[in-house]
A and B are shown apart, each in its own frame.
Chain A
């Protein structure tokens, strides 16, 4: 691996100072499951590696169903899965369970998955449907950026190389609500999404939809929010025919590429199927049913 100087600041101001002083020649290290591979394979160059895991404030994982959830940028997938307060955020838990295997989940952070900004990142569609807001700091001050506006292209985001993600603020979920994330991969586990979708749905007492959000992954340069399709659900009773129609509508915003993992046509088809399935799962969860996609131990 290329040589670099390692820094482990203990406070946010120290980290920001290091980031500013290094004038773009540094990378931030959280779990390292992406960044260390990129440094080793010379996909990225850095004179300074700034490890954020010693900063107590970034390890924050708190909140409840009434106040919402706060996920510090150094919180790992495993910590998220172990924490009972993340239970209402089912889509996010679905994502955390399938980001790599157990060894990766012990290290990889949701914040890091967002900052790596892969179009196929498993956590981003789930953060988007739950309305997560990224709290960012740089030398100019604090900024709150909705996750739906955070990614600007493959591997690119609003941090623009000089910002530090402090954490993710995720609003409380509705009383009768559910969410789900699913991806398609050609094997059971341990692969990168060919296409993915997340859905969040909130119902009124009479069974009609109060709020719905749908996001697509791996079918564009960034994960995409399918707002027009989701809005078609509001005020309606979510019946099968309508869900089918909305799934097809949502997939219309997909602009996928052809690559070794799938063709444009296949990915568009997958997007619609996955939207349908995540809406169905979100609805089942909204009614209190426990739908387990993966056996978490």
Chain B
């Protein structure tokens, strides 16, 4: 149908646990729709060709470049964007560790790094430095030189593991005594 703009398509999807319905043109990327239609501007447009990872979101738990996904392709999918990381105003440990470790300068790459790092820690809670660097190879940062980002991910991994670890035996013992 050259000359005519193809009809808009209705898409239903779940973003950060909430259902969303939107209309889009087939040519629109998921990134365009997230930012321009749904006002979820956390995902950034860096290169718009799949190199930089600034637009990373999770689709059914897997990190994808939202600039390389057509919005029409997300029908029925579960998406997580950087807006879904904080819980009721409390930053996710990754976000807190990025802040405290100064793992960002200009900040454009940060949402992509946070989402990709979340995918990594969801899959492997205690990654080695090499695994962190390899898993984040699809995210480019032109400011930090990556070291602080890697350290922030390590710090967040430790924090998340500490939160999930069972209470040390003495503490558990004390708690048991208190309950008696």
Interface residue from A39, A100, A106, A297 paired with B120 (Cβ < 8 Å): A297
Q: Which residues of A contact B27 (CB under 8 A)?
A: 1-4, 39
When the two chains form the complex, which single residue of B1, B53, B134 contacts A294, counting CB atoms closer than 8 Å?
Answer: B134
Confirm or deny: A37 has a beta carbon within 8 angstroms of a beta carbon on chain B: yes
B33 interfacial contact with A, CB 8 Å: no
Is there an interface contact between A6 and B26, defined as CB atoms closer than 8 Å? yes
Please measure, in the bound complex, the distance between the C-alpha atom of A78 and the C-alpha atom of B56, giving whole angstroms.
Answer: 16
Task: Name B55's closest neighbour in chain A (CB-CB).
Answer: A103
Q: How far is the CB of A266 from chain B (nearest CB, A)?
A: 24
Q: Which of A27-66 contact B (CB under 8 A)?
A: 29, 32-33, 36-37, 39-41, 47, 49, 51, 53
Q: How far is the CA of A190 from the CA of B53 in the complex (A)?
A: 11
Q: How far is the CB of A105 from chain B (nearest CB, A)?
A: 8
Residue contact B6 to A5, C-beta cutoff 8 Å? yes
Known contacts A1-B27, A6-B26, A107-B64; is A102 also within 8 Å of B135 by CB?
yes
Whether A37 pairs with B50 at a CB distance below 8 angstroms is: yes
The A interface is mostly helix, strand or loop, or mixed, namely loop
B residues less than 8 Å from A49 (CB atoms) = 26, 70
Does any Cβ of A come within 8 Å of B9's Cβ? yes
From B1, B48, B130, B139, contact of A101 by CB (8 A): B139
A141 within 8 A of B: no
Determine whether A236 belongs to the interface, using a CB cutoff of 8 Å to chain B.
no
Across-interface contacts of A53 in B (CB, < 8 A): 73
Chain A min CB distance to B66 (Å)? 9
Give the distance to chain B from A37, nearest Cβ to Cβ, in Å: 5
**Once the chains are docked, how many angstroms separate the CA of A104 from the CA of B68?**
9
Q: Which residues of A contact B20 (CB under 8 A)?
A: none
Chain B residues contacting A100 (CB-CB under 8 Å) are: 50, 138
Task: Report the interface size for chain A: residues with CB under 8 A from the other chain.
Answer: 33
Tell me the residues in window 99-138 of chain A with beta carbons closer than 8 Å to chain B beta carbons: 100-104, 106-107
Q: How far is it, in angstroms, between the C-alpha of A36 and the C-alpha of B73 when the chains are bound?
A: 12
The reply to whether B116 and A6 contact each other, CB–CB distance below 8 Å, is no
Chain A residues, CB < 8 A from B173 = none
Nearest residue, chain B, Cβ from A29: B70
Instruction: Decide yes or no: A103 and B123 within 8 Å by CB, A6-B72, A36-B70 being known contacts.
Output: no
Encoded as 1 (CB less than 8 Å from any A CB) or 0, chain B from 1 to 40 comes to 1100110010000000000000001111100000000000
- Rounded to whole angstroms, the CA-CA distance of A49 and B27 in the bound complex is 9
- Say whether A103 contacts B50, CB under 8 Å: yes
* Cβ < 8 Å to A, chain B residues 143-175: none
CB distance from A98 to the nearest CB of B (A): 9
Of all chain B residues, the one with the shortest Cβ separation from A98 is B137
CA distance A36 to B30 in the complex (A): 12
Q: Are A37 and B138 also in contact (CB < 8 A) when A4-B26, A32-B68, A107-B68 are?
A: no
Least CB separation from A2: chain B residue: B27
A sample of 10 inter-chain contacts (CB < 8 A) reads A1-B28, A3-B27, A5-B26, A6-B6, A6-B70, A36-B70, A40-B48, A41-B49, A51-B73, A101-B136
Please list the residues of chain A having a beta carbon within 8 angstroms of any beta carbon in chain B.
Answer: 1-6, 8, 29, 32-33, 36-37, 39-41, 47, 49, 51, 53, 78, 100-104, 106-107, 188-190, 294-295, 297
